[in-house]
Amino acid sequence: MQFQNKVVVVTGGGNGMGREMVLQLLSRGARVAAVDISEPALQETVELAGEKKGMLSTHIVNITDRERVAALPEEVLAVHGAVDGLINNAGIIQPFVRTIELDFSQIERVMNVNFYGMLNMTMAFLPHLIKRPEAHIANVSSMGGFLPVPGQSIYGASKAAVKLLTEALHSELANTSVHVTVIFPGAIGTNIAANSGVSMDMSPEEEAEAASRQTLAPAKAAEIMLDGIEKNSYRVLVGSDSKLMDFLYRLNPKGAANFIFKQMKDLLGE
């Protein structure tokens, strides 16, 4: 789906990849409804939009609040007159600990934002999207959604759920005007840990090492995602690490899992 003259809703539009997608969508000629839980973050996105801000609306929404989300389509329609695309980008990670060290409030928070938040948005907007001549749903999963990452088990489970639901939606909507894409980012240079309320608890030496690891800039990640959506891609791998691990996991699942464990074991105190 080409974005020119389309209306696209983006969750997590106040920071990171979501903000970059909002700004790039505007530059591609789309009208955008940016959704985020943080009003200051959304206001900063508006300021960054510059002369394009007239094409942008902002909506302060907790996507885990089903009733609030259910009211959102009418708000978007009131501003833009239509909705052609939905990009479910908002997500959080968990503390870097083993599953047994998590409490259920932490588990439920991750699942509620990453899976149910995406599902709430999809269920609210799909009845409107399916009426359009052409529409698109893109859901952001993660490299951790197809590959086990120690210390991020629940995050991975939530993103695996996003993956499979998105693929099922693709099949269910195959004979409709709605295209569906699932997106698998690797390591992206965003502040997702801070936004998730997660402390990394690393020494200065460990922080320096982590900072030196190659991550993809959010702007580049957003460009890859939007290019994939415009091509109606079934799946989009974002970053060389995501592409590599997708290949390795298909080739040797256990070997790939062991490789990731060796990369992550310092965070688990191994």
Q: Which of 116, 155, 234, 249 is catalytic?
A: 155
Task: Enter the DSSP assignment of 113.
Answer: I
Q: Do 5 and 80 contact (CB within 8 A), yes or no?
A: no
Report the number of secondary-structure helices (H) and strands (E) in the chain.
11, 7
Active site residue 155: yes
Task: Tell me the C-alpha distance between 97 and 154, whole Å.
Answer: 10
Residues whose CB is less than 8 angstroms from the CB of residue 14 and which lie 6 or more positions away in sequence, other chains included: 34, 36, 37, 38, 40, 41, 42, 44, 45
DSSP helix/strand/coil, 224: helix
- In Å, how far are 70, 137, 256 from 229, measured between CA atoms? 25, 9, 28
Which residues are catalytically annotated?
Answer: 155
